[in-house]
Amino acid sequence: MFRSFGANTKSLREAPTAANLKGTDVYIIVDPDTPAETPNPHYIEAGDIKAITDWVKMGGVLVFMGNDAGNMEFEHFNQLAKQFGIQFKQDSRNKVPGNDFEKGLLLARDGDPIFKTARRLYLKEISTFALSPPAKAVFQDNGDVIMAVAKVGRGTVFAVGDPWLYNEYVDGRKLPPTFDNFKAARDLSKWLLQQAPAQRRNQ
């Protein structure tokens, strides 16, 4: 989807630094592992926090895709997130028993700044957020913050409490056709690319 909007994509398999983030417009961090999930998890450390924060201030677009309690390393992830006023609450919302997919339904409002074509979103077992400035809620449901955005320097941070755009939730094979996750993925990809300052997009 990113490539369909003209972006080049790659994986960063080393710790982030000023050098290896240079020239990158959007940096996505997904669901950091716990020791139960991998023998040698690589935590976000102080040097990583500085490199990422400095990069955002210069115009980078950072994406947090977390997870719910028990399925993600929160302590170090939250140390980075708090630089932007975002904290994962380490809860688990939208539990979906079996194939009762409607339990994972979230409705985008008319005029949503991100989801311009998608309305019926599916997110299951998500962490919600506690926010402080500069972070602001951009998607809420029943008093819970589901997605947040922070503007820091020339950059933008987007956070959601689940890596919710799995293949199985956008390829039409698992979810009923009444859900709009494919459209949501396109809407979000396009919005994220649009947040990069024009001079960075043209580099």
What are the backbone dihedrals phi and psi of residue 128, each rounded to the nearest 5 degrees, phi first? Answer: -90, 180
Cβ atoms 172, 164 nearer than 8 A = no
135-171 burial by CB neighbour count: b if 16+ within 10 A, else e?
A: beebbebeebbbbbbbebeebbbbbbbbbbbeeebbe
Cα 22 to the chain's mean position, in Å? 20
Which fold does the domain 3-198 belong to in CATH? Rossmann fold (3.40.50)
Angle at 85 between CA 46 and CA 194, to 5 degrees: 95
Evaluate whether 187 touches 7 at the Cβ level (below 8 Å).
no
Q: Letter for the amino acid at 64? A: F
Name the nearest CA neighbour of 159 among 30, 69, 73, 55.
30
Question: How far, in Å, CA of 56 to CA of 86, rounded?
Answer: 14
Q: What does the pLDDT profile of the chain (203 residues) look like in tens digits?
A: 999 999 999 999 999 999 999 999 999 999 998 888 888 889 999 999 999 999 999 999 999 999 998 889 999 999 999 999 999 999 999 999 999 999 999 999 999 999 999 999 999 999 999 999 999 999 999 999 999 999 999 999 999 999 999 899 999 889 999 999 999 999 999 999 999 986 544 44
Global pTM value: 0.94
| Best CA proximity match to 122, nearest among 179, 188, 166, 161 | 179
